[in-house]
């Protein structure tokens, strides 16, 4: 499938990008001041007494919602669905889905039992759902709520050929590096601002007796995120958009440069917890928890990933803002990258219940519920940041909103899912192989291009 829709991330303007980066830069300072526990502004976040959107009565109606979320994410989303049930009288069932979700939905639809709503984690999946004529356009109430609460860039991400289909309920700032503060203090390490500084910091930590970087390489998507941040900062937004649309090939020199840069880390096994083989056996959740377990002698001192890392840190004894701190992904080129991700709610049945749920998910009422539990960032500009549980997450959210339309969406999530979002295939597999053999830049490029050409059919 060729993704013909342009990457709907607005062209970066210097002024807005600098505003966003300044807000991101404040994260380290916020982390030094404790977690600022204050919780949400309302005692019962998202409750009917604090409602900003009116919902219809749906007594007796049953709604199914499919998503790939598990564990804490599923639990927190269920709280959102519980509030919708209370306010409408509908019965909502969460349907656990498997990656790739498009394949899961295809099987459901072929069997005549599609869920009413699906949470799609890739822009390419939204496009595919529309192309397959599965997705239903947003109704007037949902569109009105979306227009009121979302920047145009987020509205466009959920649209295909100008028609809105998706509501980006959950976003992610995927340009963050979290670190064990005790390790940094013991090693005398400083927070880096550039890639060169980052490698120096890693060497300093290694010399102190702690392995500096934890990588969740068993989950290929973490490696695509590493690549995208390096590539965006080094090659720039125009090349980033072109590669996302396969308008330039993966054999382009800019890709070689980014892989070579990434190899400066991946090529030094002593800097990675467990070396390459260990990283490839480490799933994302473990890559986080092993960074914040063991006090000042963890298996890794730093872990790269988005704001959702807070969910996994919460499973340890580390306290965000004191034990666990964060800094923006270091600048490889002229400026640090700002890469985002997100999950869009899309109706697969054009029913009153499905449209009402999309309307609710587009409101700050729904976002406020999950925000209070942590591990969640909303692109909803009407959500009061007081809803977030600590200063670190508030600042991450502010940075996302400050970016307005000027951000870049996760590249692999813009691609056909067969290439950018399938375990053991395409980009995920190619970058896992690259982690094992980071000297093979040309071979990695050739495999990436061959798989991309098949997926884009060009």
Cα separation, 16 vs 64, in Å, equals 39
- For the record, the structure tokens of 174 come out as 């995927």
Per residue in 167-205, pLDDT tens?
999 999 999 999 999 999 999 999 999 999 999 999 999
What pLDDT was estimated at residue 69?
95
Q: Is the pLDDT of residue 23 over 80?
A: no
Q: Is the pLDDT of residue 336 over 80?
A: yes
Cα separation, 62 vs 425, in Å, equals 36
Q: Is the pLDDT of residue 3 over 80?
A: no
Mean pLDDT, rounded, for 64-70: 97
The separation between CA 221 and the C-alpha centre of its own chain, rounded to angstroms, equals: 10
Q: 291 and 185: one domain?
A: yes
Q: 370 and 458: one domain?
A: no
What pLDDT was estimated at residue 20?
45
Q: 401 and 358: one domain?
A: yes
Q: What is the chain's mean pLDDT, rounded?
A: 90
What pLDDT was estimated at residue 9?
35
Binned at pLDDT 50, 70 and 90, residue 417 comes out as confident
In a domain, 370, yes or no: yes
| CA nearest neighbour of 175 among 285, 29, 284, 335 | 335
Cα separation, 165 vs 128, in Å, equals 12
Task: Report in angstroms the alpha-carbon separations of 172 from 175, 203, 431.
Answer: 9, 29, 22
Instruction: Round to the nearest angstrom and report the end-to-end CA distance of the chain.
Output: 9
Greater confidence (287 vs 44) lies with 287
Partners of 344 in the beta sheet?
120, 168
Q: 116 lies in which domain range?
A: 48-173+339-409
Q: 77 and 196: one domain?
A: no
Partners of 341 in the beta sheet?
172
Q: Is the pLDDT of residue 100 over 60?
A: yes
In a domain, 367, yes or no: yes
Per residue in 269-312, pLDDT tens?
999 999 999 999 999 999 999 999 999 999 999 999 999 899 89
Q: 143 and 66: one domain?
A: yes
Q: 238 and 104: one domain?
A: no
The b-or-e profile of 119-131 (16+ CB within 10 A means b, else e) is bbbbbbbbbbbbe
In a domain, 1, yes or no: no
- For the record, the structure tokens of 317 come out as 């004894």
In a domain, 223, yes or no: yes
Q: Is the pLDDT of residue 448 over 50?
A: yes
Do the strands 176-180 and 213-214 form a parallel or antiparallel pair, or are they unpaired? Answer: unpaired
- For the record, the structure tokens of 441 come out as 């830049």
Helices 101-110 and 123-131, axial angle in degrees (round to 10):
20
Per residue in 118-135, pLDDT tens?
999 989 899 999 999 999
Overall domain count for the chain: 2
In a domain, 19, yes or no: no
Q: Is there a contact between 307 and 396 (Cβ–Cβ < 8 Å)?
A: yes
DSSP 89-155: --EEEEEE--SSHHHHHHHHHHTT---SEEEE--HHHHHHHHHTT--BPPPHHHHHHHHHHS-HHHH
Q: Is the pLDDT of residue 32 over 70?
A: no
In a domain, 29, yes or no: no
What pLDDT was estimated at residue 405?
75
What pLDDT was estimated at residue 17?
42
Per residue in 372-390, pLDDT tens?
998 899 999 999 999 999 8
Cα separation, 258 vs 212, in Å, equals 21
- For the record, the structure tokens of 443 come out as 């071979």
Q: 194 and 166: one domain?
A: no
Task: Report in angstroms the alpha-carbon separations of 122 from 15, 41, 262, 409, 415.
Answer: 28, 32, 24, 10, 8
- For the record, the structure tokens of 84 come out as 């919708």
The separation between CA 66 and the C-alpha centre of its own chain, rounded to angstroms, equals: 18
What pLDDT was estimated at residue 99?
83
Q: 309 and 442: one domain?
A: yes
Partners of 172 in the beta sheet?
341
- For the record, the structure tokens of 261 come out as 């840069």
Binned at pLDDT 50, 70 and 90, residue 48 comes out as low
What pLDDT was estimated at residue 252?
99
| CA nearest neighbour of 417 among 164, 11, 68 | 68
Least confident of 164-173, 231-240, 333-342: 333-342
Cα separation, 446 vs 425, in Å, equals 14
In a domain, 196, yes or no: yes
Q: 292 and 197: one domain?
A: yes
Q: Is there a contact between 204 and 269 (Cβ–Cβ < 8 Å)?
A: no
Cα separation, 418 vs 249, in Å, equals 17
- For the record, the structure tokens of 67 come out as 């998503």
Least confident of 17-26, 314-323, 333-342, 446-455: 17-26
**162: burial class by Cβ within 10 Å (0-12, 13-18, 19+)?**
exposed
Q: 205 and 313: one domain?
A: yes
Query: Between the ranges 27-36, 323-332, 393-402, where is the mean pLDDT highest?
Result: 323-332
In a domain, 194, yes or no: yes
What pLDDT was estimated at residue 374?
86
Q: 225 and 167: one domain?
A: no
- For the record, the structure tokens of 337 come out as 């990258």
* Rounded to 5°, angle at Cα 98 from 415 and 220: 50
Partners of 303 in the beta sheet?
178, 214
What pLDDT was estimated at residue 49?
60
CATH of the domain at 396: 3.40.190.10
Three-class SS state of 377:
strand
Three-class SS state of 430:
helix
Share of the chain above pLDDT 70, in %: 89
CB within 8 Å of 54: residues ≥ 6 apart: none
Task: Report in angstroms the alpha-carbon separations of 41 from 64, 272, 383, 384.
Answer: 30, 41, 11, 8
Mean pLDDT, rounded, for 422-448: 98
Q: Is the pLDDT of residue 38 over 70?
A: no
Q: 168 and 210: one domain?
A: no
């Amino acid at each position: 499938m060729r993704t013909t829709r342009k990457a709907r991330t607005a062209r970066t303007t210097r002024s807005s990008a600098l505003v966003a980066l300044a807000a991101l830069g404040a994260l380290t300072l916020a982390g030094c001041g404790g977690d600022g526990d204050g919780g949400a502004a309302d005692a019962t976040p998202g409750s009917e007494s604090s409602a900003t959107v009116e919902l219809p009565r749906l007594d007796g109606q049953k709604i199914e919602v499919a998503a790939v979320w598990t564990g804490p994410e599923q639990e927190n989303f269920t709280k959102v669905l519980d509030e919708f049930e209370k306010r409408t009288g509908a019965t909502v069932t969460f349907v656990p889905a498997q990656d790739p979700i498009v394949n899961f939905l295809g099987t459901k639809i072929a069997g005549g039992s599609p869920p009413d709503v699906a949470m799609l984690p890739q822009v390419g999946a939204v496009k595919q759902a529309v192309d397959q004529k599965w997705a239903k356009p947003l109704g007037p109430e949902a569109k009105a709520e979306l227009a009121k609460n979302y920047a145009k860039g987020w509205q466009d991400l959920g649209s295909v050929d100008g028609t809105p289909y998706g509501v980006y309920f959950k976003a992610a700032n995927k340009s963050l590096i979290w670190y064990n503060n005790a390790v940094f203090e013991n090693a005398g390490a400083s927070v880096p601002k550039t890639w060169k500084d980052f490698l120096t910091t890693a060497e300093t930590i290694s010399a102190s007796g702690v392995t500096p970087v934890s990588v969740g390489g068993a989950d290929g998507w973490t490696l695509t995120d590493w690549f995208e941040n390096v590539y965006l900062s080094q090659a720039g937004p125009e090349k980033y958009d072109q590669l996302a649309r396969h308008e330039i090939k993966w054999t382009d020199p800019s890709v070689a440069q980014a892989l070579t840069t990434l190899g400066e880390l991946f090529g030094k096994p002593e800097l990675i917890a467990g070396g390459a083989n260990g990283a490839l056996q480490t799933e994302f959740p473990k890559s986080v928890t092993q960074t914040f377990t063991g006090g000042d002698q963890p298996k890794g001192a730093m872990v790269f990933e988005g704001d959702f890392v807070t969910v996994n840190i919460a499973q340890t004894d580390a306290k965000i803002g004191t034990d666990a701190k964060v800094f923006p992904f270091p600048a490889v080129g002229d400026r640090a990258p700002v890469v985002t991700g997100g999950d869009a709610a899309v109706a697969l049945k054009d029913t009153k219940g499905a449209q009402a749920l999309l309307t609710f998910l587009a409101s700050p009422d729904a976002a406020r519920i999950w925000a209070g539990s942590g591990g969640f960032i909303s692109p909803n500009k009407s959500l009061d940041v007081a809803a977030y549980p600590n200063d670190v997450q508030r600042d991450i959210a502010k940075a996302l909103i400050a970016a307005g339309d000027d951000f870049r969406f996760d590249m692999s999530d813009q691609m056909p899912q067969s290439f950018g979002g399938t375990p053991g295939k395409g980009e995920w597999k190619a970058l896992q192989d690259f982690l094992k053999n980071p000297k093979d830049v040309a071979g990695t490029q050739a495999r990436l291009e061959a798989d991309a050409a098949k997926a884009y059919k060009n």
